[in-house]
């Protein structure tokens, strides 16, 4: 796996497990849309526990998450970015919403953008 930032080893395992569980790894290569979105959504264990029920092989229900899951402004910005990177139509995030994020979450944003652009190599 290429050198990418993970909040913890558990974050890495949550991402890989979620991709495998929903069948979004093809010939050892994760789907780029799912990988970028799930990289964000799995970064925090408490958030993932709540939002994982909105994720399936048929999509990620970002609008449902934003409507039904209580979250901070920063968490909402991350969820919107996950939706935008997933399919571009589920949610819109203004880049200025991402500026106030702490260093760790801002690094997650930058890494998710890179994953969406370049994909995730598991070898």
What pTM does this model have? 0.95
- Tokens representing 117? 């652009």
68-89 residue pLDDT tens: 999 999 999 999 999 999 988 7
- Tokens representing 121? 């190599």
107-123 residue pLDDT tens: 999 999 999 999 988 76
Every domain of the chain and the residues it spans: 9-117
CA–CA dist 56, 51 (Å, integer): 11
Name the E strands within the chain: 25-26, 29-30, 55-56, 59-60
């Amino acid at each position: 796996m290429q050198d990418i930032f993970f909040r913890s080893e558990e974050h890495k395992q949550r991402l890989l497990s979620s991709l495998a569980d929903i069948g979004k790894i093809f010939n050892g290569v994760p789907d780029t849309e799912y990988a970028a979105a799930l990289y964000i959504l799995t970064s925090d264990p408490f958030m993932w526990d709540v939002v994982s029920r909105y994720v399936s092989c048929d999509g990620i229900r970002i609008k449902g998450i934003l409507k039904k899951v209580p979250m901070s402004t920063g968490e909402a910005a991350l969820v919107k970015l996950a939706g935008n990177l997933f399919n571009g139509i589920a949610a819109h995030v203004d880049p200025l919403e991402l500026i106030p994020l702490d260093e760790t979450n801002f690094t997650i944003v930058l890494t998710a953008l890179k994953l969406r652009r370049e994909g995730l190599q598991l070898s």
